Amino acid sequence: MASSTVYFNKIRITKNDTVSIICTSSPIESKSTEIQGLSVSARNQDPVTFGVLSLLDDTTGTSLKKDHALAKAYAAKFKKNMAMPGLRFTDKPILKKDSQEETGLFWVDVV
């Protein structure tokens, strides 16, 4: 599933307070219309692959924590659907810890 462009979707904080980035293989866009006087919005249903970039603290080599200055900088600067050059989707699926079943997500790493 190697993809040439990776897009920022959102920052995820785990139950252990570590930070990862949820990425997409293309921008996620929505459209709106009005039905019977009510506004209706829906996500574009084009095929999109989701992935996870697991962030590390450069100085310790451990998972980046939510209170780290870099995590705060990412949250302030990264915008939904922003291209993230230098990253790529891998062909490695993310597996559930207990069953080793594929989750539908893929790992994202540095080129």
- Written as tens digits, the pLDDT of the chain (111 aa) is 555 799 999 999 999 999 999 999 999 888 899 999 999 998 876 789 999 999 998 889 999 999 999 999 999 999 999 999 999 999 999 999 899 999 999 999 999
Tokens standing for residue 76: 């302030």
pLDDT score of 13: 94
Is the residue at 33 inside a domain? Answer: no
Task: Give me the number of domains the chain comprises.
Answer: 1
- pTM for the whole thing? 0.83
43: how many CB neighbours lie within 10 A of its CB?
Answer: 10
| Domain-embedded: residue 77 | yes
Range of the structural domain that residue 51 is part of:
7-28+46-110
Q: How far is CA 33 from CA 24, 47, 68, 80, in A?
A: 25, 21, 41, 22
pLDDT score recorded for residue 53 = 96
Residue 38 lies inside a defined structural domain of this protein: no
Q: pLDDT value at position 3?
A: 52
**Residue 81 located in a structural domain:** yes
What's the pLDDT at 17? 94
Q: How far is CA 49 from the centre of its chain?
A: 10
The three-class DSSP label of residue 74 is helix
- Domain membership flag for residue 1: no
